[in-house]
Structure 1
Amino acid sequence: MKAVGIILAGGNSSRMRELTHRRAVAAMPVAGSYRSIDFALSNMSNSHIQKVAVLTQYNARSLNEHLNSSKWWDFGRKQGGLYVFTPTITMENGYWYRGTADAIYQNLDFLKKCHEPYVIITSGDAVYKLDYNKVLEYHIAKKADITVVCKEMDEDADVSRYGTVKMNDSCRIEEFEEKPVLSRSNIISTGIYVIRRRQLIDLIERCAEEGRFDFVQDILIRYKNVKKIYGYKISNYWSNIATVNDYYRTNMDFLKQEVRKYFFKEYPNVYSKVSDLPPAKYNPGACVKNSLIASGCIVNGTVENSVLFKKVFVGNNCVIKNSIILNDVYLGDNTYIENCIVESRDTIRANTRHVGEDGIKVVVEKNERYAM
């Protein structure tokens, strides 16, 4: 494909509360076996984009470990491949990434050395499948300067944390509001953009000269009446996981048969780094209903409507309902968990009770079972 990919995976989300104290949002576990960034990387690979740069910054250790081998997404190649860029102090610059446009600017040499005429820009915190070839074909057919992938949300959805757009009959974007208090549209930007490489370099360099750092505010909104910016609507499943409630809802969606079939069984596939773990083990007395149980788990108690990630141990007489248990958690005997997200590497002591009364409760045990 005649495009290079950029995945913006450096951001922090305070709306994720304790879940992002130790990891980036793009490294959040999803659906038992995946990380959030796997979906963007798989889409790049399935769209035959051979050169992808991941821009990381905040709490990047686990994300960098996940990306330490590019073979899982078929980027192990002589030409192109997977590049991971973190902020670097140079003679000219001593800043961390100050925004999405600044992150691209600090790695502009990567784009200047590329030969592909187009750039696909996406975030690492969304769960979806998309053929970027179709977006690029649309972009070329419309003779657009920038194409923004959009999705029409339900009428009752809260769109205040997204960028909302209004398009005319030819799908040209006429209005773009970033995180509006009162939205006049329920069509949102998914944070996926297509732009010509030379034009992106020019716009980013102009932003840097003017001391501007944000791609949405300082390029999309600022140039919406100057550049031809078009919207490309998608109708398939798309979910952003940058809040605790959205993260919980997205994982619970995988308990629905149609969502599991779409992501697990329908082509194209979603790829991830594979762990060498034994299959889940269900001991006598275990009772599991409508749940996802990942490899390496040992279940002795009751699990209902829940997602258990890798290497979770569920003790005797435990009850887990409507909850997400992240990787490598030990649940002692007679534990009761409901409406919770249990942080990875926790040891929940026996006879403990955690219930999310008003919304989803994030359970973080301050134990030292593992070094940080």
Structure 2
Amino acid sequence: MERTLAMVLAGGLGERLYPLTKVKAKPAVSFGAIYRIIDFTLSNCLHSGIRRLFVLTQHKSLPLDRHLRLGWSNLFRAELGEFLESVPPQQRLVREWYRGTADAVFQNIDLLSHERPQFVLILSGDHVYRMDYRAILDFHLTKGAEVTIACTTVPRSQASRFGVMEVDRNDRLIGFEEKPSNPKPLPDDPDHSLISMGIYLFNTETLVRAVIKDAKRRDSSHDFGKDVLPDLVRNKARLFAFNIRRELPPLFHYWQDIGTLDSYYQAHMELLRPDPPLPLHHDEWTIRTYLPPLPPAVLQGRVQIRHSLLAPGCLVEEGAIVENSVLGYGVQVGAGATVTGCVLLPRVRIGARAKLLRTIVDEEVTIPEGETIGFDLAMERRRFVVSEGGVVVVPTGVAFQPSSVS
């Protein structure tokens, strides 16, 4: 993979995941008790032998930059030509912020000119999955492709959230439509559609030509899915679909775009299954991250813990009940508190006798003693954010009124 350079897109607003993106970029949002979302993409790069990475940042990037510096930069050997560099908009070519995914690459063409890779792997920093990128490169070379797009199948009812692809019998793209209102089904399965995973392997020359052409279009939104890929398909470029369910072993079949509060919550609940689709305990494909120095988790006295994940530094006090929940590092659950079906992000404090149901609590929030959250959604909508699926989200910086404490 020494001929391949990765560009990780990490600058989106993450509006659908708000308020978890209130103070940080989506790739820096906590996931799975100890990780940040971007850790999955970066771990895939390390396991795949990709040692040259640019992370293209933009909105609320300080927490992400700090995580990359503390947890990732020391893994790359500069004397061997390896690097992981965070790149905010440099505004060399245009006096603009990144206007879209394709524009982010266009504004950094000089980096490609300097590094001179043969292939460029465009990745998203806000998806949760495992993938061996060496397999997509082998497929790309075998097909003689100019662009290879990783893809998977989803129920047609969900496909409107993604780029929907049409392919011929040889896996060559004959159609690409971003977030269609009426997604085209698979020819042999009318209930499912083939969707892009937002993972694109380009021949460098093809990529450079495509983003330069797109930058000149005044009617473009400068997005790979909306503009660049459909244009390449129309112009008969050699685009091929790499179907992970067919080309990779089962370990790599899981992929989740946790772009909404409900999908974020559901992905956490899937981690708690007896046979989770994304097993975090897997020696062959570990997910790296950065954790501050923390003591072991402590369970004080008689507590009840069922079907839950507890990170280092957790403290669960006498009489507390934690069930079907994910507790990030440094979380404290007070005496007699009940936490059911919840995702508690790092350094959350749950007061004594508090009761929480189907609630996401953002980092460093303190829930007062005796507080009740998640049982009356009509009331919670007046205080917090409630997802379409009925999950309550307590944001960073929330101020509890004394009258809300029972």
Unaligned runs of 5+ in 2: 186-192, 246-252, 378-388, 401-406
1:230 corresponding residue in structure 2: 240
Q: What's the offset of the Cα at 1:207? A: 1.5
2:87 corresponding residue in structure 1: 85
Q: Secondary structure at the match of 1:320?
A: strand
The equivalences for 1:344-355 within 5 A come to 344-355=363-374
For the pair 1:250 / 2:267, whether they are aligned, the reply is yes
From 217, 222, 228, the counterpart of 1:219 = 228
- Taking the aligned partners of 2:52 and 2:134, their CA distance within structure 1 comes to 15
The equivalences for 1:93-242 within 5 A come to 93-154=94-155, 157-185=157-185, 186-211=193-218, 212=220, 213-226=222-235, 227-235=237-245, 236-242=253-259
Q: What's the offset of the Cα at 1:23? A: 1.2
Q: What's the offset of the Cα at 1:365? A: 6.2
Q: What's the offset of the Cα at 1:262? A: 3.2
TM-score if structure 2 supplies the norm length? 0.86
- Taking the aligned partners of 2:371 and 2:217, their CA distance within structure 1 comes to 56
Q: What's the offset of the Cα at 1:332? A: 0.8
Q: What's the offset of the Cα at 1:70? A: 5.9
For the pair 1:337 / 2:368, whether they are aligned, the reply is no
2:248 corresponding residue in structure 1: none
Q: What's the offset of the Cα at 1:100? A: 0.5
Contact 1:72/1:273, CA 8 A, preserved across alignment: no
Q: CA 1:259/1:77 → structure 2, altered by over 3 Å: closer, same or farther?
A: farther
Q: Secondary structure at the match of 2:18?
A: helix
Contact 1:163/1:188, CA 8 A, preserved across alignment: yes
Q: What's the offset of the Cα at 1:223? A: 1.6
Amino acid across the alignment from 1:359: G
- Taking the aligned partners of 1:148 and 1:266, their CA distance within structure 2 comes to 28
- Give runs of ≥4 in structure 1 deviating > 6 Å: none
- Taking the aligned partners of 2:265 and 2:299, their CA distance within structure 1 comes to 25
Q: CA 1:120/1:253 → structure 2, altered by over 3 Å: closer, same or farther?
A: same
Q: CA 1:15/1:367 → structure 2, altered by over 3 Å: closer, same or farther?
A: closer
- Taking the aligned partners of 2:270 and 2:226, their CA distance within structure 1 comes to 32
Map Cα deviations across residues 57-113 of structure 1 (whole Å, 9 max, x no partner). 1111111110114647832432121010011345x5321110011111111111111
Identity of aligned residues (%): 31
Deviates more, 1:283-292 or 1:213-222: 213-222
Contact 2:280/2:286, CA 8 A, preserved across alignment: yes
- Taking the aligned partners of 1:195 and 1:17, their CA distance within structure 2 comes to 32
Contact 1:299/1:313, CA 8 A, preserved across alignment: yes
Q: What's the offset of the Cα at 1:368? A: 7.8
2:393 corresponding residue in structure 1: 362
Q: CA 1:6/1:295 → structure 2, altered by over 3 Å: closer, same or farther?
A: same
Contact 1:45/1:73, CA 8 A, preserved across alignment: no
For the pair 1:314 / 2:333, whether they are aligned, the reply is yes
Contact 1:45/1:75, CA 8 A, preserved across alignment: no
Contact 1:76/1:82, CA 8 A, preserved across alignment: no
Q: Secondary structure at the match of 2:161?
A: coil
- Taking the aligned partners of 1:73 and 1:355, their CA distance within structure 2 comes to 42
RMSD (Å), alpha carbons: 1.9
Unaligned runs of 5+ in 1: none
- Taking the aligned partners of 2:331 and 2:4, their CA distance within structure 1 comes to 40
Contact 2:324/2:340, CA 8 A, preserved across alignment: yes
2:249 corresponding residue in structure 1: none
Map Cα deviations across residues 105-145 of structure 1 (whole Å, 9 max, x no partner). 11111111113200111101111111111101101111111
For the pair 1:6 / 2:7, whether they are aligned, the reply is yes
Map Cα deviations across residues 223-257 of structure 1 (whole Å, 9 max, x no partner). 21321111000121111111000100111111123
Aligned residues: 367
Contact 1:73/1:272, CA 8 A, preserved across alignment: no
Q: CA 1:89/1:117 → structure 2, altered by over 3 Å: closer, same or farther?
A: closer
Contact 1:303/1:319, CA 8 A, preserved across alignment: yes
Q: CA 1:84/1:366 → structure 2, altered by over 3 Å: closer, same or farther?
A: closer
